[in-house]
Structure formats: C-alpha cells, structure tokens
Amino acid sequence: ASGPGNLNVPPEDWGMTLRQWAAFIMSCRIASPEKWQELENSTDRKREGDVNLYQICDHYVKPWTRNLGNSIALLLNGDKPLKAELMISHAWGEDIIESMVAVLSKASCTGIQLDTVIWFCTFAQYQPGDEEGDCGPGVAAQLALDPFKRVIASNPRFGMLVIHTSAAELYTRLWCVYEVNAAQDALVVPFAAMSMTYFLQALEGLGNGKDMEDVCRCSSASAECWSPDDKAMIQEEIAKGIGWGNLDCKIMDFRMKALQKVLDGYVPLLDWARPHLLKAGVPADDISAMIVFQVAEIVRRAGIYVGCHCLATIAECNKEEAYMDAIETIVVSECVDAIKVNDPDGPDMGLPPGFDPAKRVPDEDIEGLKSDPTRRRECLLNLEAFQHPIGWLELGGGGNFVASYAQEVEKDAMQRIIEVFKRLDTGGCGSISKDKLRQVFFCTDPPMAESDVDLLFAAADTKGDSKIDYEEFLGWLFKSNLAIS
C-alpha cells in the first residue's frame, strides 16, 4: 500500500520480475472470476473471449493503485526498486493471457528466467494520476522523465522483447513503432515473441496466396497515439530521422526474420504430424492449420500452469490459502488434461519435435495430480521437479534452440569446442567475450543465428561484465539448463 513514488525513482528502475508480472496477471483473473468472465464476454472494441490491457488497466491497475502515487511495479518492490533487464514492447489491445503465454514461451527458449526484471509500461507507470482528485503523478509528468529512452539507454541485459499477438496489430500503436526504431538505433537487441495464434494467422495468410512481405508489412505512418503531444513528438522525430518508408522496411525486415525463424522451427512438427493426420482422414489442405491450432491450445494451457506457479509461489509465502485453493482449481480444471502427450482418441503419437524429452512426465503421473493434493502442490510450487509444462512452452516458442543445438552436436564436440575457445582466449584467462563467442558458434554445424548468440550470452553473463567462463558455460550449455524455472 506504499512505495517511494514514481517521480522519486529513475524510470529504468520501475521494473518487476517476470514472476511478479505473470503472477499479477493471474491474480487479476482469480481475484473475481465473475468480473473476469464479464470482461471476456464484452465485445466493446475487442474480440469476445479476450481480456485486453485497456481492461486490465481500468478494472484492476487503477482501482488497486488509486491515490498511492506508485505503479504496480513500485508497490511490489518499493523497498528496493528493480532495474530493468528486459524491456517489453506491446500493444494494449492484445489478449493479456495470449501475451503472457507468448512471453513465457520465449523466455523458456532463451535463458530468460522468472526472476529476470522486466519493464512493462502498464505496470511500470502510475496509471490513475490524471483522474480528478488523485494524488498523481499524471502521465505527462512521468513522460517528461522520458522513461522509454531512459530504459533503452540503460542497455538492458536482454534487450527488448516485442510481443506479436493475434488480437492487435502491434504497429498500429505509434509508441511500438517508436520503441523498435529507438532500440535498434541504440544497439539494444530487439527480438520477437510471437504467440502461436499469431503464427497461425500468418500461416493462413501464407496459405492464401500472400508472401512473407505481405504478411509482415506495416504502415508506420498510420499508427496512432492517444496523446496528441506524444504523437507530434514521435512523428517529428521519425520524419527528421529515418523517415516513414525506411522505418517500414526496417520493421518488415525485423518481422520477416522473426517469422521465418518460427516457421523453420515448426517444419519438423508439421512433418511429424502430417502422416498421422492423413491416416486419420484429415484433408491435406487443413493439416498445417489444424496442427498449429491444437498445439496452440496445449501451449496456452501450459502457460496458464506456469502463470499459476508464479502466483502460487507468492501466495504460499504469504500463507494465502484461499488463493492457493483457487489456483489449484484452475490447474485441475484447465491444465492437467490439456498438457498430456498421448492422443486421447487413439495411440500415443510419440513426443513431438521441439519438446525436450528430458522434461516429459508420463501421462499417468500427470493424471495423478487430480487426486493427490500433496503431489499437486509440490509440482505447482517447484517447476524444477515438474518441467513438463515448460516442455510445451519451449515448443510454443519455436523450440529450445540451445537444447536442440546441444543434441545435434556430436558427443565429442564439447572437447573440440573447448579447444577452439582456448585458441581464441589469447590472454589465457579462461573467459571469452561475445564477439569471440560469435566466432565459435558461427563456425559450427549447425550454425547459430546472431540473435540467438546474443541472447545466449546475455543469459550466461550472470556477472554482467561482458565475459563468460567458457568451460562453465559449455557445461551449462550441454546440460540444456535453460528452463525458466
């Protein structure tokens, strides 16, 4: 109920952990199931079934922070504000659960752990400050601190994550246009989290005669902003700088690379499932969309499970039994059956490509969570002991590229790579820089993409000194120790 106040803390320190972010989203849903259902049923400027950020802000963030002068992030971390390690760029019209699952999926694939500090504007800034009678600060006073540029200038460890979902076109929001341009100009690495439903839309577009450019094109000059002053500022800066046409090309190139990476990750999954579905009589033209749709629903339930885990770890610490009971109800009713691997209408098709076999839990053990409350709570609180949902999230994020890489490389490759590291380590200090890490992984078979190396290095560089101990790093790499748990 108290905090230091947004105007008394540098904007780059208006952060919250990924765990807190997911827990807050799930707490909105659990706090009043009737209210959540009402918001889902609404079709006012949104799809039925979604709860978007406008609704989250109006019905939860503002009422819960009104007259406190502190954002959600600062109320959660008032004693020690957290500096952002990852900036998240997003639209406001997207379904918040779809966004949460997309972010958790990407995190599970890239070494971004639940204790990573994120900067998410809706929860970072104080929202009710412009309401009559509120203590403030208002939006203008906070924007005067130039929070977005401050966060980008702070060079967040993991760069900027750009969320793409099916419910809202990201680049119709002018701030999103501004953020991706500013990040690239500041050499802050932007990378995309694409929800599986977004991917399904793109797949359908490609199947209907569109090419990658058609699917990924945007018109940044048409993007809107609620504040006329902000709109004028951003438009002037872009017009004087890169220009709208060049910016559209820049965004399209960013999107095309991200989408192609997801497409490449799903080819093995489509190839694996196609013969099974053809045998079952599914028309060939419908197979790709059917596979992605079915997997998307499983991944969504796995993401809800991990969101429940995030809230449960906080509720357990605070001895909130009512919350724990509500969380377990969701887990049993929505997640347990959905995340099994076996085909309920036929034989087990085996483990899908992109699902790390080390994380699989037998279906009978998952079924047992329904009847064994002790085991259910243990699995809910400890994702290291129950990584099965993370296996689905990794698949939803396009596969854990590090786990896949480690599995592809021959068993004796570690020693060979260590020898390469040693040759590059001319100072003999046992550590290696990012540039030299790139040299190693660009020359291997299969080669690793530059953006993947950047994320890999950021995850491994726990000291933040731009160097990593390479023997420790390779041991971590080949154990595929990247689960968000």
Res 85: pLDDT? 95
Query: What is the DSSP-derived secondary structure letter of residue 15?
Result: B
Res 481: pLDDT? 44
Residue 16, strand partner residues: 118
Res 286: pLDDT? 79
Res 431: pLDDT? 78
Distances (CA, A) of 390 to 106, 108, 291, 303, 346: 11, 7, 19, 8, 25
> Is 448:457 a contact under the CB 8 Å cutoff?
no
Nearest alpha-carbon partner for 269 in 349, 204, 192, 360: 349
| Helix, strand, coil percentages in the chain from 3-state DSSP, rounded to 5 | 60, 5, 35
Res 466: pLDDT? 74
Distances (CA, A) of 481 to 109, 156, 402: 10, 22, 9
The burial class, CB within 10 Å (0-12 / 13-18 / 19+), for 209 is exposed
Residue appearing with tokens 């390690």: 85
Helix (H, G, I), strand (E, B) or coil at 297: helix
Res 72: pLDDT? 98
Query: What is the DSSP-derived secondary structure letter of residue 342?
Result: S
The burial class, CB within 10 Å (0-12 / 13-18 / 19+), for 36 is middle
Query: What is the DSSP-derived secondary structure letter of residue 145?
Result: T
Res 308: pLDDT? 97
Strands (E), 211-251: none
> d(Cα 161, Cα 175) in Å, to the nearest integer?
14
Residue appearing with tokens 């929505």: 334
pTM over cut 0.85: yes
In the predicted model, residues of the chain with pLDDT beneath 70 are: 342-350, 400-417, 420, 440-449, 462, 470-485
Res 480: pLDDT? 47
Nearest alpha-carbon partner for 457 in 424, 433, 484: 433
Q: Helices (DSSP H) in 111-195: which residue ranges?
A: 121-124, 139-143, 147-153, 174-185
Long-range contacts of 457-461 (CB under 8 A, 24+ apart): 458/111, 458/157, 458/158, 458/159, 459/110, 459/111, 459/112, 459/113, 459/158, 460/111, 461/157, 461/434
Res 392: pLDDT? 92
Helix (H, G, I), strand (E, B) or coil at 316: helix
